[in-house]
Structure formats: C-alpha cells, structure tokens
Amino acid sequence: MVVARGAHFAIRPTTQSKAGNFCSFYMVCFLTISTLHFTVPYGFGAAASVRVSNELGAGNPQAARVAVWAVMFLAITETVIVSITLFCCRHILGRAYSNEKSVVEYIAVMAPLICLSTVTDSLQAVISGIARGCGWQHIGAYVNLGAFYLLGIPVAVVLGFILHLKAKGLWIGIVIGSTVQSTILSLITGFTNWQKQATKAKERMSERKTSVDNEQD
C-alpha cells in the first residue's frame, strides 16, 4: 500500500521532466510544499494505525472508533489551518524560490490548487493509516493503484502534455488521484462494522498463536 503510493511519487519527476525546464521548476516548487506538509498528516496516520490496531486487537471496537474520529478531527483542523495560511500568503510564497516576478505570480495563481492538494493529502494520509491499522493493506493497495495509476497519472499526462496545461495539468491529475483515493477509503471506513473488525483481529491473533505453537512443537 505504501509502496504503491511511493512509486507514484517516484514516477512524477519523470513525467514532469518531459514537459521542459519551465514545468519542472514549478513542479519542484509545488512538490516541496506538498512534501513538507505531508509529514504532519503522515504522522497522524502512523499514530492512527498503531492505536486502531491495538484497540481492535484488545477487543475494544468503540475505542477504535473514537480513535478514528479523533485523528480525523486533528487532520481536518491541521489541513484547514495550513490551507488558509498558504492561501493568505500566496502572493509572497513564490519568493521562497525566486525573486522573478513571473514565478511569484504563477505560484500565486496555483495557490488554490496547492491548498486543495493539502486537503486531499491530509485525508488520504490519515485514512491510509487507519486502513493499515485495520489490516486492509490489500484494499489500500488496490485503491492506490486504481486512483493513481489508472486515473491520476493518465489525467495528468493528458492535461499536462496533450492539452498543454503543463504544471497545472500535472498537478490537477495528482489532486484527482488523491481525491478518488480519499473518497473510496473514507466510504470504506465510514461503513465499517468495528465490532466485526475486532472479532476478525482476535481470530487472526488466535491463528497466529496457534501457528507459532505448532512451529515450536
């Protein structure tokens, strides 16, 4: 699941380099902002993964549900603060990369799209952590492959290269992939029967214990 998304990040520099130096420069700027922000919700997701798995393993489905809502609240609060800050600073954000007026103006124009990507990145990072805690790695991997490789990257290529939207087109494809992934995993999480997940967790623990005992014998 993590590998699938990581490979998507690895492919992006290759696709953006095909668009020339102009596009590559701006994509590096956007990726720097996005990656710097992503460390925060990724930490929330890691914490959620541990907490949810522990509570399910202990047979506490209600506590697992509370942990999910708590981490979602933190993620939404964090991404709202970051998005508002980025949008308010959009006219000076570009000066972190260049003093060229054209650079500053283009990044200011792209700021709303960057803000939207921070929202989708926060949600998908946290929900992916919840999915790992529930043992849904296989589901998350399929969702990642479908959202990014079957939808996000093709859309980015079409918009960026065929329709000549360049950096904006590539970034729109990224946002679409993250949005689809977040939506699907959110629906799966929202309709989860936590009592059933706790029962499955105990069954897996019992199977693992039996397997270890048999190996020792």
Given a contact cutoff of 8 angstroms between Cβ atoms, the answer to whether 76 and 8 are in contact is no
User: How many distinct structural domains can be found in the chain?
Assistant: 1
Question: Is 105 part of a structural domain of the chain?
Answer: yes
Q: Which residue has the tokens 């701006």?
A: 26
Tell me the residue range of the domain where 177 lies: 2-201
For the segment 49-95, what is each residue's pLDDT rounded down to a tens digit? 999 999 999 999 999 999 999 999 999 999 999 999 999 999 999 99
Given a contact cutoff of 8 angstroms between Cβ atoms, the answer to whether 76 and 85 are in contact is no
Question: Is 92 part of a structural domain of the chain?
Answer: yes
For the segment 93-151, what is each residue's pLDDT rounded down to a tens digit? 999 988 889 889 999 999 999 999 999 989 999 999 999 999 999 998 899 999 988 99
Question: Is 215 part of a structural domain of the chain?
Answer: no
Question: Is 210 part of a structural domain of the chain?
Answer: no
Question: Is 216 part of a structural domain of the chain?
Answer: no
φ, ψ of residue 22 to 5 degrees: the values are: -60, -55
Question: Is 213 part of a structural domain of the chain?
Answer: no
Question: Is 52 part of a structural domain of the chain?
Answer: yes
